[in-house]
Structure 1
């Protein structure tokens, strides 16, 4: 993930504002399961998604799990979801009704309405900028934030380590046959290597006073600007408008309480 993937106005905003905007969009939508609120939210999110400035190839690759998961969720609910209204098709354990189809459509739109802005906003987030924002703005413990950042930076080495271990084991004739056995052996070796690297990293960070009980300073200041506040207000407005339209047309379907 690189911040260069997005060059729009939203890509340059504070990661904390992006996280807050995605949360403000998602939280109100989880209290209701109806196609109207999800559809309205998805429609209002389009300018926000386009303003991220992602290339089309990057957009489709990053959101591919959503385009697979949303139809799969809708199909499952349509076949096995809550039954209501006229039954349109029935076979063994499968029963498709008008109510299950409506619920499937609501679930499909809901997955996209919640997932798309979250994925698109976080594609353009740099881990270091996110750590700076969480520690300076959200006031999370610096020790936890920096430890998580160091761990994320190490994730990129896992693929290289796996490749190097596989080549080294094959050069020594270890587990030269049997894919499952070779994979399990390489995974265990990678696990041991990750523990050793983590211990060395923790020692190095402690030696550089990362865990000192003093007020720490930051190389880059993280603050919320007018654009960040506007992004959070847009996220809140999307949810409020979607819920208001759903209630106004009588489609509001809360997941808790009487329906």
Structure 2
């Protein structure tokens, strides 16, 4: 089942920081890394993220479980570049039928995979250490986001675990009716697509009902709203934001100093 609740130790130094500060630091850290295609800068950034993970109170095993979809994405990137990459420069490492692996292909694939991990992991860490209600409150109080948007996003976020339950319900209902792919990969792929479409339709219907229910309860009244829990943005939160920019800039500077920097544009 999909989970969105925080899994960090509540007394961890960085887990206690303001949710908006953590989100902004993750965005700054990720945005700077997008500027390069080389593997050096994201590798350094990834090492920094893993080294700081204990300060967020998250165990490495828990992070690996939450980042499991990223592993599947990395495998897909490598497979796609091995089969369809246009740049085949460098020494040939493997040449078997349509599969031609060169040093240039591996460097490009390594850079993309490392950058994907380095850019995505800060977001994973933020949501693994932040309570959704605290995030919505902080967006309203500190980021001055519209209450309609923040509360709507909170409601949608709270419904995410239901997607996993509904997927299992649809799969079991179809199996009870004799709809089973067995060991046929083509039939399994078709069944996956139809199940995903059914899940999408159900999610849209649930979202529509939720929006109508929220409006009926005055969430679109336009009157000023109060908050039950204050979210303070202090000096430590500013230091977290500045530290994220400095560390990401340092990783980029090392890449430039080593001569491996490959700008995304230009």
TM-score tier after normalising by the smaller chain length: 0.7 to 0.9
Alignment partner for residue 253 of structure 1, among 248, 253, 262?
262
Q: Which residue of 2 aligns with 1:36?
A: 40
The verdict on how the C-alpha distance between 1:97 and 1:9 changes in structure 2, with shifts beyond 3 A counting, is same
Structure 1 residue aligned with 2:93: 88
1:232 paired with 2:241, answer: yes
1:222 aligns with 2:235: no
Match of 2:179 in 1: 178
- What TM-score does the superposition give when structure 1 sets the normalisation length? 0.80
**Residues 178, 129 of structure 1: alpha-carbon distance in 2 compared, 3 angstrom cutoff:** same
Gaps of 5+ in 1: none
* 1:92 to 1:12, Cα distance in 2 relative to 1, 3 A: same
Relative to the length of structure 2, the TM-score reads 0.78
Which SS does the other structure have where 1:96 is aligned?
strand
Residues 98-131 of structure 1, C-alpha deviations (whole Å, 9 max, x = no match): 2222222222322222222221222112111111
Provide closer, same or farther for how the CA distance between residues 158 and 101 of structure 1 changes in structure 2, counting only shifts above 3 A. Answer: closer
Give the whole-Å Cα distance in 2 for the aligned partners of 1:245 and 1:193. 45
Conservation of the 8 A alpha-carbon contact between 1:48 and 1:117: no
Q: Give the Cα separation in 2 of the matches to 1:122 and 1:73.
A: 25
CA distance in 2, matches of 1:43, 1:193: 37
> How many positions carry a matched residue from both structures?
252
Q: Which runs of 5+ in 2 are unaligned?
A: 182-190
Contact 1:85 1:98 in 2 (8 A): yes
Pair 1:105 & 2:110 matched: yes
- SS of 2:260 mapped into structure 1: coil
Q: CA RMSD in A?
A: 3.4
Are residues 39 and 143 of structure 1, via their aligned partners in 2, closer, same or farther at CA, if it must alter by over 3 Å? same
Q: Matched residue of 2:133: which SS?
A: helix
Pair 1:76–1:198, CA change in 2 (3 A): closer
How much does 1:52 deviate? 1.4
What's the offset of the Cα at 1:77?
A: 2.8
Pick closer, same or farther for the CA change 1:78–1:195 going to 2, 3 Å: closer
